[in-house]
Structure 1
Amino acid sequence: MTPPQLVDGQIPLGRWVCTVEEAESTYVTGQPGERQAIWAEWQQLTGALRQLVGEVPACWLSGSFFSAKPDPADIDCVYLVDAVKFQNAAASDPRALALLSAAATGQIKDIYGVRIDSYILQWMPTPGPDPEPEARQYREARGYWDDLWSRIRDADPRLGSIPRRGYLEVIIDGYR
């Protein structure tokens, strides 16, 4: 699926699946301002996370970076990382733990000085339509992020709670 063009300055409502290259060509290449530099920082962080955990299945991207805002300050992302691979990497090396913790909790921007507002959703692959009870926290977090990325801030709290925009699910290494 090709990422959509902006409608009324936003990605149309829904989760739009695409590749890194498709996201870049649609929302970064040829854009004015700092978008290309911010995108390069996101690619660098993505590469570092891939080295630590082995693979990153996907990343959800949203925020003003993917809007008509002329000069966004950062890129908002949630990396989906296999929970077991995340925990193994975090336990293997204190430096890995520091980077993973910062990337998982929205602190990467402050600690490492990059223009990325990142979080990590520890993906728990479970078979069938009725996931295991231990996957409850994952399912709740996934729903939280899906709901958040669909909202647009508004002075009217009710309007701010209604899904009005979309976000990207950028497939990096794929789900296996």
Structure 2
Amino acid sequence: MTWDEVESELVKAACFAGSSSRPGLLQELRTHFAMVELAIGAVGRLWLAGSFVSGKLDPEDIDVTYLIPPDAYTRAITDPDTVDDLDNLGTRDWCVRHGMRVDAYVLRLPETEDFRALGVTGAMAPGDRKVFEDLGLYDEIWQRCRSGQKGIPDGARRGYVEVLP
């Protein structure tokens, strides 16, 4: 989705017309996104998950995973001030204290671009194995449901929305 589609489908859609939290949550996410982008220099894309991407009328927060291009990520983690900024932006309590109901995670995107070559020995960029494992972990986490709660059947799956800034 684009930012406009997120707003249209997850905030302004008729089914959310009575929501008291969605417009504010989206604004808080936009502020948070701008702060992450300013700290790192680039955000490749982001995953929105949790109740904000569900049919829940009034979600309490937004779960987001920022996927950062490898060069920007490498620069960011070598600067202690940027690491501190990202640590703050990824801490829910810090975000709430600063008026943002955002639960955020930051992951590096892989350097490997030609995915057809992944099965070829030596074709994967060094370090990308761990990157792919982390991406797969969060992909799986965001598709899980809290089974048995509020009528959610056991084994139910959910999803997340990928936003291209």
Taking structure 1 as the reference length, what is the TM-score of the superposition?
0.75
2:46 alignment partner, SS class: strand
Partner of 1:166: 159
Match of 1:77 among 64, 81, 84: 64
Q: Assess if the C-alpha contact under 8 Å between 1:150 and 1:163 holds in 2.
A: no
Is 1:100 aligned with 2:86?
yes
Question: What is the alpha-carbon distance in structure 2 between the residues aligned to residue 83 and residue 125 of structure 1?
Answer: 6
Q: Aligned to 2:105, what secondary structure does the other structure show?
A: strand
2:9 corresponding residue in structure 1: 26
Superposition misfits of 4+ residues, deviation over 4 angstroms: none
In the alignment, structure 2 segments of 5+ residues that lack a partner are 119-123
Change (3 A) 1:163 1:102: farther
Identity %: 31
The structure showing larger relative contact order (alpha-carbon pairs under 8 Å, at least 6 residues apart) is 1
Q: How large is the RMSD of aligned CA atoms in angstroms?
A: 2.1
Task: Specify which of 35, 43, 61 is matched with residue 22 of structure 2.
Answer: 35
Question: How far apart are the structure 1 equivalents of 2:69 and 2:114?
Answer: 17
Query: Is the CA contact (8 Å cut-off) linking 2:145 and 2:157 kept in structure 1?
Result: yes
What CA deviation, in whole Å up to 9, does each residue of 1:107-147 have, x standing for no partner? 1x211322001001111221323123411111011111111
User: How far off is 1:163 after superposition?
Assistant: 5.9
CA-CA distance at 1:93 after TM superposition: 5.4
In 1: Cα distance, 2:107 partner to 2:156 partner: 21
Counting only pairs closer than 5 Å after superposition, residues 9-158 of structure 1 correspond to structure 2 as 18-29=1-12, 31=16, 32-92=19-79, 94=81, 96-103=82-89, 106-107=90-91, 109-113=92-96, 114-129=100-115, 130=118, 131-155=124-148
Higher strand share: 1
Counterpart of 2:146 in 1: which secondary structure? Answer: coil
Q: How many residues align?
A: 148
